[in-house]
Amino acid sequence: MSYEYLLKSPVDELARNRAVAAFTRAAAAVCEGQQMDMDFETRSDVSLQEYLTMIEGKTAALLGGCLEVGALVGGGADTEPLTGFGRKVGIAFQIQDDYLDTFGDPAKFGKQTGGDILQNKKTALYLIALEKADPSRRDQLLGYYSNEDWDPEEKIRGVTDLFNQLGVPQEARKLQAAYQEEAFRLLDSVAARPRGRSP
């Protein structure tokens, strides 16, 4: 149905074809990113850079693709910075989501914290911790993520303590802020009136 609506867009043929191509690229990237995410579940050697590449395929490609298609259908010619804005915001959003899952206020976040830890998800926080950990703390962290017999509260508390010892919250916030700053730099470069660019 998405393709059907795109093909009915009241824009010239070139813009319509570009919008269909952008939608197709975004859909393919989301599928590839989802597959990477699933592959990570059975791998113990995932790097932070691979994780960021996976996010770029999932959340970032979705947001970037939506903005690109919207710009093309809306008659905009300056799609690159807008697409880039969406992709960078998507990465920043996912890092923020990872952070909130462990360190967020449940009343504001809308769910209990520690869900990613209990599911052994290889989040940005986990991968930053592995990169920063000395051998002893690395073994502790891997132990929490490889043993299914931990008491849930003890596991969440133990992993959170390790994250705090390693300065993971600060590193995650710094990484998120860098992507967010780049996103708004790209938004500022979009050829549109300031009011039209307001997020």
- Residue 193: pLDDT band with limits 50, 70, 90: low
Kindly report, residue by residue over 83-97, the tens digit of the pLDDT: 999 999 999 999 999
DSSP string, 118-154: HTT---HHHHHHHHH--HHHHHHHHHHHH-TTS-HHH
CB 107 within 8 A of CB 113: no
- Domains by residue range for the chain, with CATH: 2-190 (1.10.600.10)
Rounded-to-integer distance, Cα 141 and Cα 163, Å: 9
Element (H, E) at 174: helix 168-188
Across 187-197, average pLDDT: 67
Cβ within 8 Å of residue 172, ≥6 positions away: 95, 98, 99, 124, 125, 128
- Residue 195: pLDDT band with limits 50, 70, 90: low
**Model pTM score:** 0.85
Mean pLDDT of the chain: 89
> In this model, does residue 11 exceed pLDDT 70?
yes
CB-based burial of residue 111 (10 Å sphere; 0-12 exposed, 13-18 middle, 19+ buried)?
Answer: exposed
- Residue 149: pLDDT band with limits 50, 70, 90: confident
Across 159-163, average pLDDT: 97
Kindly report, residue by residue over 104-148, the tens digit of the pLDDT: 888 777 778 899 999 999 999 999 999 999 999 999 999 999 888
Rounded-to-integer distance, Cα 122 and Cα 193, Å: 41
